[in-house]
Structure 1
Amino acid sequence: MSRPDGETAIPDPYGFAGHREFRERTRHLLAQSVLPHAQEWERSARIPAEAWRTLGKQGLLAFGHSGEDFLRSAVFLEELGRTGYAGIRAAVGVHAYMAASYLELFGTAEQKETYLPPIRSGECVVALAISEDEAGSDLSRLRTQALPADESGRYLTGCKHPVTNGTQADLFVTLVRTRQATSSRGLTGASLVLVDGHSPGVTRRPEPGLGMRSADVCRVGFDRVPLSDDQFLGRPGRALMYLMRALEFERLVAGILAVGGVHSCLALLGAFVREHRVGDAPLAAKQAVKHRLADLVAEFELVRHYAYRAAWRHSRGDLDSQTASILKLKATELAVETAQVCVQYHGARGYTEGSAAARHYRDAMAGTLAAGASELMRDMIFEGMSYEL
């Protein structure tokens, strides 16, 4: 492996044939289709429709979710994170992996045939509508529902927030209650449904966060949206089982994206301390600075190796919740730590609106919240322990 600011290889023994050429081509495509427009997407708080189609035409939304094909995805996800724009990586990660995985895993043949090709081509933008104001990491307070109303069928009512890709989504993978809970178990009677984003009764209100500005985060409302039986994703009432499986994959993806983000921030930080002079010497001449960066690079190398180990395990059908949680926790918290050091060493210029250091800083915190907060990850890791205490 090379330094975070240099060329990168997949750690052995998790590589696949041709990964260097694939990484180089992926980096080139992202440099062409993303980086020249990234600042504008940050200002407009979304990836525009034509850009989604461009990404689709370049094949960047169609990499595999399983088997050895996922090692190719792991390279793509790391390179996407390495662009340094967490909002873009979140939007693409949700669209091409996190939301699309529900269709891949639980969709019928007809649902897959209808939705997956336009998702991969960028013609259909997909979003996850899972969380609510009172139902985030703990979904037991789920309020959105589609209970049988009368002989005319079901109507979906409720509100989801935050929803990435929300204002542009053509399709929402939505968690709802489809029957009254008969026990105290949190998701009893909950189901996953596919909702056409252009249905009457669907409303969207942008609610951008502090960071990840191009992620198109908004509040989505459902006011008596008609729901038919063929819109169920998987079996009704089985949402908890589906979520447990899909969230492992979601956390794997989030962790690899965060590894790419750390890579980008370390490169920015490394270049700055070598170029910025304090007196007659560069900042990097100070022992405290060298040691701080050495610690960050060491942690990065360990987390990155673990990320490819997790990707390799997933490619073999052997990913478990503890591994995904460890990766997500350590990668996203390392991103926060690295961004804090980056801003600190940049000084006032690093805290200026529009600076790359400030963008990394405000983006990093979101990674510790999305796909399960760090506290939840620690709970999951503890529950999966097999060591003697």
Structure 2
Amino acid sequence: MSTTTGERTARPHRPPHLTAEHEETRSRVRGVLGDVVLPQADAWERQGRVSAEGWRALGAHGLLDFAHDGEEFLHSAVLLEELGRTGYAGIRASVGVHAFMALSYVRMFGTAELRATLLPAAARGERIAALAISEPDAGSDLRHLSTRAEPLGDGGAGGFRVDGRKCHVANGSGAGFFVTLVKTRRTSGDRGLSGASLLVIDADAPGVTRTPQPMTGWRSADVCRVDFDDVRVPANALVGRRDMALLHLMKALDFERLVAGLLAVGGVGYCLELLDGFVRRHRVKDVPLGSHQAVRHRVAELTGELELVRTYAYHAAQLHAQGRLDTRTASVLKLKATELAVSAAQACVQYHGARGYLEDAAAARLYRDAMAGTIAAGASELMRDMIYDTH
């Protein structure tokens, strides 16, 4: 499907933290995405994954090697918003997980050896990263984590033997490696994530099995179930401190929610461009649909909400760039941006009528995709709890 939204193109204001240099980044990124992603996006949706050629093209243009922290992160925030503005949430999720979410653990907590081994190939799009955290009985609540990594040798010097199952893993079939949450120490009673660790597991290691889990939306995100059956993992694949994954997750999950929020902001922007163009162009009883007050006011209300959330998103990005992002800010952004995406998608389908509910309609894709954003990287209910608890 074409991403054309009509002759009129919305011009969102420039957030106060951005400069002309950031807008140059926006123009460059938008151009690359227009050349590399959009012509192939529908094909990737049908095949359920970004192609190997697509990954390498993104890498060749430098889009998989943006900063994770420091002042340069504001350029990354622009990239993430523009990924969302492609209108394909599966693609934005796939790239976001690879280039930011999964690799953030390696960048923040990996050894120099592990970073040197993984990051250059990941930046080139040659080895794709996936994040294997959730399990059938451990999603938002990870206390029932059951995937085990049995230490081998004295204190794990001989590596680990991993057994267990992960689900809802984006980039599952195309991944070169999984950043995986495992139990490395047996604990008694309800001890939360005590005794948990993070391991990098080679996707092609003997005993790793990947099974596609087709989703209603996010069709190009390559979501899979991953089974580990007596998988041997070397000791140097440990990410961060053994048995101390909770400390790493607390920091990395705030970053994930920031990334998810920025991606969602871009998605809402695309959705409202599509909606605005349609209601101005489509005629009912010989007048534009947008001439009806109820329609105008609904579009205006959603546009105003987007302006507020977008400004807050770049505020959160600036805090992260300064090393000051907190759980409450990340949770507020993730909650409000993804919930707004649902509201915008509902309005988009409703005003498009039956044509918006066709299987191949852009409005229908946005509607299918929107709900996933309120679940991944922390469900909306969890975000509300975290906001309340940090008040």
Give yes or no for TM over 0.5.
yes
> Residues 66 and 73 of structure 2 are in contact (CA less than 8 Å); yes or no, is this contact kept in structure 1?
yes
1:286-365 mapped onto 2 (5 Å cutoff): 286-365=292-371
The residue number in structure 2 matching 1:24 is 27
SS in 1 for 2:78: helix
> Residues 12 and 307 of structure 2 are in contact (CA less than 8 Å); yes or no, is this contact kept in structure 1?
no
Between 1:228-237 and 1:372-381, the stretch displaced more is 228-237
The residue number in structure 1 matching 2:47 is 44
Does residue 102 (structure 1) correspond to residue 105 (structure 2)? The answer is yes
How far did residue 221 of structure 1 move? Answer: 0.5
The residue number in structure 2 matching 1:382 is 388
The residue number in structure 1 matching 2:3 is none
How far did residue 215 of structure 1 move? Answer: 0.1
Q: Which of 202, 205, 211 is equivalent to 1:205?
A: 211
The residue number in structure 1 matching 2:291 is 285
How far did residue 9 of structure 1 move? Answer: 4.7
Separation (CA, whole Å) in 2 of partners of 1:24 and 1:330: 26
The residue number in structure 2 matching 1:131 is 134
> Residues 199 and 225 of structure 1 are in contact (CA less than 8 Å); yes or no, is this contact kept in structure 2?
yes
> Residues 89 and 267 of structure 2 are in contact (CA less than 8 Å); yes or no, is this contact kept in structure 1?
yes
What amino acid is aligned across from residue 384 of structure 1 in structure 2? Answer: T
The residue number in structure 1 matching 2:262 is 256
The residue number in structure 2 matching 1:5 is 9
How far did residue 182 of structure 1 move? Answer: 3.8
> Residues 161 and 230 of structure 2 are in contact (CA less than 8 Å); yes or no, is this contact kept in structure 1?
yes
SS in 2 for 1:299: helix
> Residues 5 and 266 of structure 1 are in contact (CA less than 8 Å); yes or no, is this contact kept in structure 2?
no
Separation (CA, whole Å) in 2 of partners of 1:153 and 1:51: 34
What amino acid is aligned across from residue 161 of structure 1 in structure 2? Answer: C
1:222-261 mapped onto 2 (5 Å cutoff): 222-261=228-267
Separation (CA, whole Å) in 1 of partners of 2:240 and 2:21: 36
How far did residue 170 of structure 1 move? Answer: 0.5
Percent of matched pairs sharing the same residue: 60
Residues 102-143 of structure 1: CA distance to partner in whole angstroms, max 9, x if unpaired?
A: 011100011111101111110110000000011000000111
How far did residue 291 of structure 1 move? Answer: 0.6
> Residues 137 and 373 of structure 1 are in contact (CA less than 8 Å); yes or no, is this contact kept in structure 2?
yes
Does residue 145 (structure 1) correspond to residue 148 (structure 2)? The answer is yes
Q: Which of 77, 85, 88 is equivalent to 1:85?
A: 88
Separation (CA, whole Å) in 2 of partners of 1:232 and 1:155: 12
SS in 1 for 2:149: coil
- For these two proteins, the number of residue pairs brought into alignment is 381
SS in 1 for 2:305: helix
SS in 2 for 1:18: helix
SS in 1 for 2:30: helix
What amino acid is aligned across from residue 131 of structure 1 in structure 2? Answer: S
Separation (CA, whole Å) in 2 of partners of 1:218 and 1:108: 28
SS in 2 for 1:40: helix
Q: Which of 55, 67, 70 is equivalent to 1:67?
A: 70
SS in 2 for 1:68: coil
- Structure 1 unaligned blocks of 5 or more: none
RMSD: 1.3
Residues 176-211 of structure 1: CA distance to partner in whole angstroms, max 9, x if unpaired?
A: 001101452211111000000110000000011100
Change in 2 beyond 3 A, CA 1:357/1:218: same
SS in 2 for 1:146: strand
Separation (CA, whole Å) in 2 of partners of 1:191 and 1:23: 37
How far did residue 17 of structure 1 move? Answer: 4.6
How far did residue 149 of structure 1 move? Answer: 6.3
Q: How does the TM-score come out when normalised to structure 2?
A: 0.95
How far did residue 287 of structure 1 move? Answer: 0.3
What amino acid is aligned across from residue 316 of structure 1 in structure 2? Answer: Q
> Residues 16 and 71 of structure 1 are in contact (CA less than 8 Å); yes or no, is this contact kept in structure 2?
no
Does residue 214 (structure 1) correspond to residue 217 (structure 2)? The answer is no
Q: Which of 169, 187, 190 is equivalent to 1:163?
A: 169
Separation (CA, whole Å) in 2 of partners of 1:89 and 1:375: 23
> Residues 10 and 308 of structure 1 are in contact (CA less than 8 Å); yes or no, is this contact kept in structure 2?
no
What amino acid is aligned across from residue 105 of structure 1 in structure 2? Answer: M
What amino acid is aligned across from residue 18 of structure 2 in structure 1? Answer: G
What amino acid is aligned across from residue 26 of structure 2 in structure 1? Answer: R
Separation (CA, whole Å) in 2 of partners of 1:107 and 1:354: 42
SS in 2 for 1:84: coil
What amino acid is aligned across from residue 279 of structure 1 in structure 2? Answer: K
> Residues 159 and 236 of structure 2 are in contact (CA less than 8 Å); yes or no, is this contact kept in structure 1?
no
Residues 128-187 of structure 1: CA distance to partner in whole angstroms, max 9, x if unpaired?
A: 000001100000011100123678763100110010000011010000001101452211
Separation (CA, whole Å) in 1 of partners of 2:249 and 2:162: 20
> Residues 80 and 257 of structure 1 are in contact (CA less than 8 Å); yes or no, is this contact kept in structure 2?
yes
Residues 204-239 of structure 1: CA distance to partner in whole angstroms, max 9, x if unpaired?
A: 000111000000001001000002211110110011
> Residues 10 and 19 of structure 1 are in contact (CA less than 8 Å); yes or no, is this contact kept in structure 2?
no
Residues 270-300 of structure 1: CA distance to partner in whole angstroms, max 9, x if unpaired?
A: 0110111100101000000001111100100
Separation (CA, whole Å) in 1 of partners of 2:22 and 2:179: 32
